[in-house]
Amino acid sequence: MSEREDRLVDYAILAIESAAEELGVPALTLARRLQDAEIARLVHLLNAATQHVDNPGLRHRIEDLLMAVTEGRMPSQAAETELDWALRVARRRRVEGDQQDRPAGDPGE
């Protein structure tokens, strides 16, 4: 691996371990959820819910967190629609099904 890839692995491990500790879940469980894009979905839902938060202080903290996590791309992005969500879930399930149908050792396309 290159030095950049090594650094990315180190940061990813530290990020998962620190977030898992904060959330009180096993690091491996959190890593699996990240792989399944569950955390990304949570960010999108939080973005959509922000406009419905009545408490201005809480709304600003949520917006600040979203902006920090997404490098400024949220909350200005449009919220995910139900159709967007359904299509994304269907694509993920299709990919997972394709991976399970492949013989062992077959890297796919």
Question: For the chain, which residues make up each domain, given as ranges?
Answer: 1-35, 36-102
Closest CA to 69 of 13, 30, 10, 15: 15
pLDDT at residue 109, rounded to an integer: 44
pLDDT at residue 21, rounded to an integer: 94
Q: Which residues of the chain have pLDDT under 70?
A: 74-80, 102-109
pTM for the whole structure: 0.54
Distances (CA, A) of 64 to 6, 8, 89, 97, 106: 30, 24, 28, 37, 44
